[in-house]
Chain A
Amino acid sequence: MSVGAAEIVPGAGAGLSFLDADGGIAARSPLQLFWRRFRQDRIAMASLGFIAFVVVLALAAPLVIKLLGLPGPNVENPNLTNAFGSPLGPSAAHPFGVDQLGEDVMSRVIYGTRVSLEVGILGTAIATLIGLAIGVTGGYYRGWVDTLLARLIDVVLSIPILLLGLGLGAACAVRGCVKGVIQPGLGSIIFIIALANWTYVARIVRGLVLSLREREFVTASRSLGASNARIMFREILPNLVAPLIVYSSLLIPANILFEAALSFLGVGIRPPTASWGQMIAQATPVFTTAWWYMTFPGIALLLTVLAFNLLGDGLQDALNPRTAR
Chain B
Amino acid sequence: MIRTARAGVTVAFVGALALALALVLGACGSSSSSSVSSSGLKTPKTESPTAGKRGGTLTVLNHGDFENLDPGVAYFLNDYEMVYATQRPLFSYEPNTFSKQTPDMASGPAEISADGKTVTVHIRHGVHFSPPVNREVTSADVAYAFDRGANPNVANPYIQSYFSSVEGAEKASGGPIPGITTPDRYTIVFHLTEPKGQLVADALALPLSAPVPEEYAKKYDAKKPSEYGNYQVATGPYMLKADSEGKVLGIGYQPGKSATLVRNPNWSPSADFRPAYLDEIDIKIGGDTNVIGRQVLEGSHEVQNDTPAASIVQLAYEKFRSQLQISPGAGDHYIAVNNKKGPFSNVDVRKAFWAGLDRTAMNKARGGSLVTDVQTHFLYPEIPGFEDAGGLVGPKVDYNEHPEGDMAIAEKYMKLAGYPSGKYTGTNTLEIVGSTGDPAPEDAEIANNTLRSLGFKTKLSLVDHSVMYAKYCGVPAEEIDVCPNVAWGADFGDGQTVLDPTFNGKSIIPSGNNNWGQVNDPTINAAMEKAELILGSEARAKAWAAIDRELVAEAVAIPYDWDKTPSVESKDVAGVGDLWNSGAWDYSFTSLK
Contacts and interface: CB of A to CB of B under 8 A. Distances in A.
Interface of A: 41-43, 46, 74, 76, 78, 81-90, 100-102, 170, 173-174, 184, 266, 270-272, 282, 285-286, 288-292, 295, 299, 302-303, 306, 310, 313, 317, 325
Contact of A303 (B14, B25, B361): B14
Contacts of B358: 76, 78
A288 B311 contact: yes
10 contacts: A78-B361, A83-B35, A85-B366, A86-B31, A88-B30, A100-B439, A101-B446, A292-B22, A295-B22, A313-B3
Contact of A271 (B290, B361, B462): B462
Nearest to A99: B442
Contacts of A101: 361, 365, 442, 445-446
Given A76-B446, A306-B14, 16 more contacts: A46-B11, A78-B361, A82-B32, A83-B369, A84-B317, A84-B370, A85-B367, A86-B310, A170-B464, A173-B463, A272-B445, A282-B438, A282-B442, A288-B311, A299-B18, A303-B14
B26 A89 contact: yes
Contact of A84 (B8, B25, B29, B31): B31
A86 B363 CA distance: 12
A274 B40 CA distance: 41
Given A174-B463, A270-B461, A43 B365 contact: no
B444 interface: yes
B441 interface: yes
A84 B314 contact: yes
Contacts of A86: 30-31, 310-311, 314
B345 to A, nearest CB: 21
A173 B472 CA distance: 11
B461 A173 contact: yes
B347 interface: no
Interface residues of B, number: 61
Given A272-B445, A288-B28, A289-B31, A84 B368 contact: yes
Contacts of A291: 21-22, 25-26, 28
List 4 tightest A-B contacts by C-beta distance, closest first: A291-B25, A78-B361, A43-B7, A85-B364
B113 interface: no
Contacts of B369: 83
B105 interface: no
B568 interface: no
Interface string B6-25: 01101100100010011001
Contacts of B463: 170, 173-174
Contact of B34 (A76, A78, A83, A170): A83
B79 interface: no
A86 B32 CA distance: 9
Binding site of A, secondary structure by majority: helix, strand, loop or mixed?
loop
Nearest to B467: A170
Contacts of B21: 291, 295
Interface in B447-488: 448-449, 459-464, 467, 471-472
B397 interface: no
Given A271-B445, A289-B30, A306-B11, A81 B364 contact: yes
B114 interface: no
Nearest to A265: B436
Q: Which of A41, A78, A295 has the most CB of B within 10 A?
A: A78
A101 B364 CA distance: 8
A295 B18 contact: yes
A39 B446 CA distance: 48
Contact of A285 (B10, B310, B366, B433): B310
Contacts of A299: 18
Contact of B367 (A74, A84, A102): A84
Contacts of A84: 31, 33, 36, 310, 313-314, 317, 367-368, 370
A86 B472 CA distance: 31
B35 A271 contact: no
Contacts of A74: 445, 449
A302 B365 contact: no
B393 to A, nearest CB: 21
Nearest to B25: A291
Contact of B460 (A90, A272, A295, A325): A272
B360 A78 contact: yes
Instruction: Count chain A CB atoms within 10 A of each CB in B11, B309, B448 and give the residue with the most.
Output: B11
